[in-house]
């Protein structure tokens, strides 16, 4: 149960508003920012509980915002199934309540993701290789999702490597994030770590998340997304380094 102090409510509102802006501009980043910031203030398990509803709402919005959802599901279902299995297994880390390994894992995930994206090494995956890689990428993504609450590694670089069109890529990200969020909620609930009493605060976070997402979409039309994302990734890299090294100090 959370202590619903003014400080906590303000922290949640600001965090999800900023995370919504990032998602509105780049099409991703809400769980990464939310877990990164809140994970430094409260336990990763508590932060993951808060993430469920706002992440689900914004991801479903993103998933349904394009015309090719059926085709993408047919193409990516092996990856999505593996995400579910991996997340169910990985959620045991969060459910244990030992924040040290999950905090370090989250920090490492943030560093890897931000460094990879900053370096902008664009990979390419052939159709034949896709059939073999999709379940593997989905399983690893699920394990990391379950252990840290962050959905991006290695799913986002992999989906980018499939050479999807701009709109299809954004929709594919929405599909992957939606499946990851639902699987995480189920995994935590199955281990008794998903607290129903936290739903009110999680629902509260939807409002600033949607407001931030709308504002981010407005910004996307006025600034260069590449510049915004570069600044965001540098901050994310520093945050990840701090979370990775925190247990040693």
pLDDT tens across 35-80, in order? 778 877 777 777 777 888 998 898 888 888 777 889 999 999 999 9
pLDDT beyond 90 at 5? no
* CB-based burial label for 224 (10 Å; 0-12, 13-18, 19+): exposed
pLDDT at 44: 72
More reliable by pLDDT, 83 or 26: 83
| Helices 44-63, 99-119: crossing angle, 10 deg rounding | 40
> Which residue's structure tokens are 């189920």?
186
pLDDT at 16: 94
pLDDT at 225: 66
- For the chain, the domains span 6-248
pLDDT tens across 107-124, in order? 787 788 778 778 766 668
Rounded Cα distance between 32 and 50, Å, is 13
Instruction: Indicate the average pLDDT of the chain.
Output: 82
Lowest mean pLDDT among 58-62, 120-124, 181-185, 201-205: 120-124
pLDDT grade for 149, boundaries at 50, 70 and 90: confident
* CB-based burial label for 23 (10 Å; 0-12, 13-18, 19+): buried
- The percentage of the chain sitting over the pLDDT mark of 70, rounded to a whole number, equals 90
> Which residue's structure tokens are 């962050």?
150
pTM here? 0.78
pLDDT grade for 195, boundaries at 50, 70 and 90: low
Q: How many residues does the chain have?
A: 249
pLDDT tens across 220-247, in order? 778 776 777 677 778 778 877 877 886 7
């Amino acid at each position: 149960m959370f202590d619903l102090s003014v400080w906590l409510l303000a922290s949640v509102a600001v965090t999800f508003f900023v995370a919504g802006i990032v998602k509105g501009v780049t099409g991703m980043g809400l769980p990464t920012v939310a877990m990164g910031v809140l994970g430094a203030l409260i336990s990763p398990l508590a932060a993951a509980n808060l993430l469920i509803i706002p992440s689900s709402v914004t991801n479903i919005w993103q998933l349904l915002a394009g015309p090719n959802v059926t085709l993408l599901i047919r193409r990516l279902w092996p990856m999505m199934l593996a995400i579910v299995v991996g997340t169910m297994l990985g959620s045991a880390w969060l459910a244990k309540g030992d924040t040290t390994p999950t905090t370090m894992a989250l920090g490492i995930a943030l560093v890897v993701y931000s460094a990879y994206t900053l370096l902008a090494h664009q990979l390419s995956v052939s159709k034949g290789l896709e059939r073999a890689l999709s379940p593997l990428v989905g399983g690893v993504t699920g394990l990391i999702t379950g252990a840290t609450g962050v959905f991006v590694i290695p799913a986002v670089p992999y989906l980018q490597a499939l050479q999807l069109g701009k709109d299809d890529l954004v929709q594919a990200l929405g599909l992957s994030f939606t499946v990851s969020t639902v699987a995480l909620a189920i995994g935590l609930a199955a281990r008794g770590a998903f607290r129903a009493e936290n739903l009110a605060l999680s629902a509260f976070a939807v409002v600033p998340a949607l407001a931030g997402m709308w504002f981010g979409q407005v910004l996307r039309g006025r600034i260069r997304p590449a510049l915004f994302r570069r600044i965001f990734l540098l901050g994310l890299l520093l945050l990840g380094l701090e979370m990775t090294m925190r247990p040693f100090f």
